[in-house]
Amino acid sequence: MESIFVLTHADESGGALTRASLEAVTAGMELAARLNAPMRIGIVAADPHPLSNGLPCAALAVADPAFAQPRFASDAAACEALCRAAATSIVLAPGSSRFARVIAAVAHRLGGLVDTHITAVGGETAVEATRWFYRQRIEAVVTRTARPWFLLLDAGTHAAYTGESANATVEIVPVSLPALRTEVAGTRAPRQDEQTIRPDARLLFVAGAGWTKKQPDGEVHTGEAGKLILDFLRLSSASLGSSKSLVDQGGEGHSVLPFLTHLNQIGQTGATPRHPKGLSTCCHGEEPHVVGWRFIGERRAISLDPNCGWTRGKADVVYIADAFQVMAKVNESLAKS
């Protein structure tokens, strides 16, 4: 019979579990209920006691100031100690940078196997893990006989667990830490309003090459386009995506939007983010771009071209309109609200 262990870790504040960790808890509970299997939770944190508040089952935890910082040596030792103590056949963990760095090593140390980028865990009698291959074009269901089997879950694929405020019991597992050579001295990150890729945003806003093309007055308006887009991102906290044509223009010496890089590119050769809603602007909606919208819940587009790809069944709502005018109005009403 299977038994399930869900590895979790604290967020940067140390005062709460990460959202992706709580998603893994939901996945674990669903699997445990389906298989009628026992489940426990593992917590990696400097002080795990407050984090167990509201968890649905007993937890094993490591507790040491060393676990306040993400670091291979300490995180791998913590996960190994927890998994050995739990002695379960299935280990679910969030695909955070922290666990993605260590989980293959932990699986190896326990003589198990690992699969990453898992989007769903199904199966009534056996565990079936779903993941995408070949740039999200082929969806595969994987089963394995090897145990322990570690499954690293993609963020955004499950609802985050929200429990009653009841204290689950926490058992502290001792860890013998290896020599720690890495200290995190600090974090250097762009200011929030400079950071345009926001995986947790409710809306994906996509800018297409039309923003930098000649407009009906025969002129390009790149400066105005940049201001409209950045104002909208600031007012809406949306995440910024781009078509390939727009990010490629920088290399061709054309007028460009300086805040866009290839990291913003959505599509077959770009990213496939997950957001509840998406708004495409000045983009033609060609298949190699739209394939990156696979996990966007509701799709809307603003295009001048009534024959663009979005109108051919790729969007739920298409506004045949000038995006400069529409976004100026949208920003105006967002600023008032």
Ligand X SMILES: Cc1cc2nc3c(=O)[nH]c(=O)nc-3n(C[C@H](O)[C@H](O)[C@H](O)COP(=O)(O)OP(=O)(O)OC[C@H]3O[C@@H](n4cnc5c(N)ncnc54)[C@H](O)[C@@H]3O)c2cc1C
Q: What is the contact surface with ligand X in residues (CB under 6 A)?
A: 208-210, 213, 215, 243-246, 265-270, 282-284, 286, 288-289, 292, 302-305, 308, 322-324
- Distance, in Å, from the CA atom of 212 to the CA atom of 311, rounded to the nearest integer, reads 22
CB of 118 to ligand X, least distance (A): 24
Q: Would you call 103 exposed, middle or buried from its count of C-beta atoms within 10 A (0-12, 13-18, 19+)?
A: buried
Query: Are the beta carbons of 162 and 19 closer than 8 angstroms?
Result: no
- Distance, in Å, from the CA atom of 249 to the CA atom of 252, rounded to the nearest integer, reads 5
Structure tokens at 156: 């955004």
- Distance, in Å, from the CA atom of 127 to the CA atom of 119, rounded to the nearest integer, reads 13
Structure tokens at 178: 């290896």
Residue with Cβ nearer ligand X (52 or 243): 243
CB of 156 to ligand X, least distance (A): 20
Q: Would you call 45 exposed, middle or buried from its count of C-beta atoms within 10 A (0-12, 13-18, 19+)?
A: buried
Residue with Cβ nearer ligand X (5 or 211): 211
Residue with Cβ nearer ligand X (130 or 268): 268
CB of 327 to ligand X, least distance (A): 9
CB of 323 to ligand X, least distance (A): 4
Pairing of strands 59-63, 39-45: parallel
CB of 304 to ligand X, least distance (A): 4
Residue with Cβ nearer ligand X (22 or 207): 207
Residue with Cβ nearer ligand X (83 or 240): 240
Residue with Cβ nearer ligand X (53 or 311): 311
CB of 267 to ligand X, least distance (A): 2
CB of 119 to ligand X, least distance (A): 20
Pairing of strands 4-9, 128-133: unpaired
Residue with Cβ nearer ligand X (53 or 268): 268
Q: Would you call 88 exposed, middle or buried from its count of C-beta atoms within 10 A (0-12, 13-18, 19+)?
A: buried
- Distance, in Å, from the CA atom of 44 to the CA atom of 63, rounded to the nearest integer, reads 7
